[in-house]
Structure 1
């Protein structure tokens, strides 16, 4: 029995070799998005229902200990953790399909870390002064820090994510590349096709 393409990354759980088609990559993400959207909607509905049943006389923090949505939330966390490796593997194989190394996958994380270090090195003194009386009545300095954080941390991370998104949207290399044969079967010559016939 053939495994549907949306679940194929689960059968190749930790396989970082070879290539993955766009269809395999995006359908796997779509199934996860739909699953977690439904799960989170149920958790939020149960949480708000629990919160609304608390009377004004009781402690409002008690709603956090409703076992139903707490357990569902933890189940979602465990499933997310279990899907981390196949997500990384299919991401690497997808980059392989475009003839790029899987190390491109860390581009947004690397941009975030480098940007954060740069922000802390250049703005660390201003950030520390923020908690003193020096900046108490100086909103311009606060907005300057926010702007610097945006330019040094958020913007490079966003650009790295867009670059990775574009790589994942691009069609794979027709025919075989350095990571293996084309998963779509393109580039097979007539001589090779006759040997398989």
Structure 2
């Protein structure tokens, strides 16, 4: 949970690097919370109000951690646009976010693994 809260606290931190663990723990907790809100929306018989509000609330932190994760692998944040290509783009982004960090300092900052 500390990784999730850490990303939320650094919601406008588009500079620097994010480790694989930070990124994937955020994604995991984000998916769990989204699932819970989706269930609550269905139980309450309302349109997806809670899940939509939650998605909007975490949009900026999600982008920020994605930028930092790409920076950690030595790529610019412009690579996020490849996700707009159906299927292939999502697979490429998945591969990029699963790759290990660059072991040394890069142009985006020091390695988060230290």
Q: TM-score, normalised by structure 2?
A: 0.92
Answer with 1 or 2: which has the greater Rg. 1
CA separation in 2, counterparts of 1:36 and 1:107?
24
Deviation at 1:8, TM superposition (A): 1.2
Q: Which residue of 2 aligns with 1:136?
A: none
Match of 1:89 among 64, 74, 83: 64
Greater RCO structure (CA 8 Å; 6+ sep): 2
Structure 2: segments with no counterpart, 5+ residues: none
RMSD: 1.5
**Greater per-residue helix proportion:** 1
Structure 1: segments with no counterpart, 5+ residues: 48-68, 112-156, 186-197
Deviations 1:45-102 (A, max 9, x none): 343xxxxxxxxxxxxxxxxxxxxx34xx323212211111110110000000000001
CA separation in 2, counterparts of 1:181 and 1:36?
32
Q: Which residue of 1 aligns with 2:19?
A: 21
Q: Tell me the matched-pair count.
A: 114
